[in-house]
């Protein structure tokens, strides 16, 4: 039965880090001025004690990993660090002028690219510049993505001393054949070193990113990777499905042949067996693609109904304003989204010309805001309530869900929609039933990865 459901629902679909999703942003109603207005409005609505989130995109990598779908810039020239940091700090000043006061930063995340491409000294220079005219929220959560091959004890100590308590390491898989296929040679010893160093220094949450469905993946290889992962006992595990989207990312995802990838049935088996193994090791499934020990703050956020999801993925802080700094970074004012230029040069030129470097975005209308809330509820809590958040097309959405209800993926109870345990792996499909923008304008070409 499960195999038939996978065949039935394995269709292209978004991961819903936002609604509307980026391909369905209405750029005709968006402008830089409208973005500024909605940002200021949202910031003024936000109580200072709630704080804001800041995401900083550090795009440089020394080599290309062929599984990666991130916006990155490949170079071995580390002299690019200084100018990029200067530009990010100039962009931050443009936002400070717009906000008109010192914001309190509750959540800060360094993503990439490879954030640890930057030297510890330059990361601290970036942080000192950021907080020259901003305050650190007393309940802050600062985090960074680290590459095990180039993250040093000096990186870990310097960031910890500044207030970073969470770090995630991209592991993907420990099998050498897979590592060679995705151009990411990364011995277990390197992951062990940085994990133990982070724990010794005092990091409260250490996460490992694992990917299933990579080329040459098999149950035996995945079981060995999870066995090695357990030896290091990370607090969180992101267990991602490999998103094969070469039509979007080009040659970066054509470093291997299509026949080297596991079939959809084999890929789902990888997930099911992996999930069972993680649960046997006392990890609890959280939202989509994530697992955590009960001692971790992400588990506590789920229990307390405070789990949030945005362009940084799942977070434990639900801030209304998120400002994205750096090339390709996306900002979120709740009422609107704005994305920076994806070219380092264009991004730099705009900032140095005194302009917030936004290239596109979307202003959410009333319908968008209601649907966004439902999708956010489903992605974070596996349920949503129709009591207040009603919209004209609600009955149409319920009709879209009828087949899923018949397949026991969801149940309706007292004006609430709940995802069943059986339906959990199909949560992206369930959210798609709410996605009126996509339903009204079905894509004519491939733009999303497969949901299963």
252 belongs to an annotated ligand binding site: no
Distance CA 99, CA 45 (A): 12
| CB atoms inside a 10 Å sphere around CB 280 | 10
113 belongs to an annotated ligand binding site: yes
Nearest to 220 by CA among 178, 258, 192, 251: 178
- Element (H or E) spanning 207, and its range? strand 205-212
For 137, how many CA atoms within 13 A lie in the half-sphere containing its CB? Answer: 20
Domains of the chain, residue spans: 26-363, 366-440
Distance CA 163, CA 271 (A): 35
225 belongs to an annotated ligand binding site: no
68 belongs to an annotated ligand binding site: yes
Whether the CB-CB separation of 361 and 395 falls below 8 Å is answered with: no
74 belongs to an annotated ligand binding site: no
In this prediction, residue 245 has a pLDDT band, given cuts at 50, 70 and 90, of low
61 belongs to an annotated ligand binding site: yes
330 belongs to an annotated ligand binding site: yes
69 belongs to an annotated ligand binding site: yes
Looking at residue 415, its pLDDT comes to 85
Task: Give percent of the chain with pLDDT exceeding 90.
Answer: 74
95 belongs to an annotated ligand binding site: no
Name the average pLDDT for the chain: 91
CATH number for the domain formed by residue range(s) 26-363: 3.80.30.20
Which contacts of 161-165 are long-range, i.e. CB under 8 A and separated by 24 or more positions?
162/124, 162/127, 163/136, 164/203, 165/141, 165/202, 165/203, 165/204, 165/205
Distance CA 203, CA 163 (A): 10
Give the mean model confidence (pLDDT) for residues 423-446. 87
What is the third-level CATH fold of 366-440? Arc Repressor Mutant, subunit A (1.10.10)
Looking at residue 51, its pLDDT comes to 94
pLDDT in tens, 131-173: 999 999 999 999 999 999 999 999 999 999 999 999 999 999 9
380 belongs to an annotated ligand binding site: no
209 belongs to an annotated ligand binding site: yes
91 belongs to an annotated ligand binding site: no
112 belongs to an annotated ligand binding site: yes
């Amino acid at each position: 039965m499960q195999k038939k459901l996978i065949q039935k629902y394995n269709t292209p679909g978004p991961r819903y880090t936002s609604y509307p999703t980026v391909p369905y942003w209405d750029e005709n109603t968006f402008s830089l001025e409208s973005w500024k207005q909605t940002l200021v409005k949202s910031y003024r609505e936000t109580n200072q004690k709630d704080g804001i989130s800041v995401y900083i995109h550090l795009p440089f990598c020394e080599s290309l990993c062929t599984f990666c779908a991130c916006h990155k810039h490949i170079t071995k020239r580390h002299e690019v660090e200084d100018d990029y940091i200067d530009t990010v700090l100039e962009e931050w000043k443009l936002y400070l002028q717009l906000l008109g006061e010192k914001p309190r930063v509750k959540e800060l995340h360094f993503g990439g690219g490879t954030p640890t491409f930057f030297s510890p000294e330059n990361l601290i220079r970036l942080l000192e510049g950021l907080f020259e005219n901003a305050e650190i929220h007393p309940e802050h959560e600062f985090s960074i993505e680290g590459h095990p091959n180039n993250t040093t004890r000096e990186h870990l100590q310097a960031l910890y001393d500044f207030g970073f308590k969470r770090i995630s390491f991209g592991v993907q898989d420990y099998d050498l054949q897979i590592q060679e296929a995705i151009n990411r040679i990364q011995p277990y010893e390197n992951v062990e070193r940085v994990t133990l160093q982070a724990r010794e220094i005092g990091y409260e949450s250490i996460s490992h990113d694992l990917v299933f469905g990579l080329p040459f993946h098999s149950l035996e290889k995945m079981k060995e990777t999870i066995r090695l992962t357990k030896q290091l006992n990370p607090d969180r595990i992101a267990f991602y499905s490999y998103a094969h989207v070469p039509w979007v990312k080009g040659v970066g995802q054509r470093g291997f042949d299509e026949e080297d990838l596991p079939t959809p049935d084999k890929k789902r088996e990888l997930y099911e067996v992996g999930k069972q193994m993680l649960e046997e090791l006392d990890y609890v499934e959280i939202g989509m693609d994530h697992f955590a020990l009960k001692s971790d703050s992400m588990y506590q956020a789920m229990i307390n109904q405070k789990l949030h999801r945005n362009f940084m993925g799942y977070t434990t802080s639900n801030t209304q304003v998120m400002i994205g700094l750096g090339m390709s970074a996306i900002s979120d004012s709740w009422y609107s989204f704005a994305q920076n230029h994806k070219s380092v040069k264009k991004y730099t030129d705009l900032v140095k010309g005194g302009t917030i470097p936004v290239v596109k975005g979307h202003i959410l209308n009333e319908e968008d805001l209601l649907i966004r809330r439902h999708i956010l509820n489903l992605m974070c809590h596996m349920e949503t309530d129709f009591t207040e958040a009603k919209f004209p097309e609600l009955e149409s959405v319920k009709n879209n869900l009828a087949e899923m209800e018949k397949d026991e993926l969801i149940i309706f109870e007292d004006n609430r929609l709940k995802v069943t345990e059986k339906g959990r792996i199909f949560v992206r499909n369930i959210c798609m039933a709410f996605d009126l923008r996509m339903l009204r304008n079905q894509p004519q070409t491939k733009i999303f990865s497969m949901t299963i």
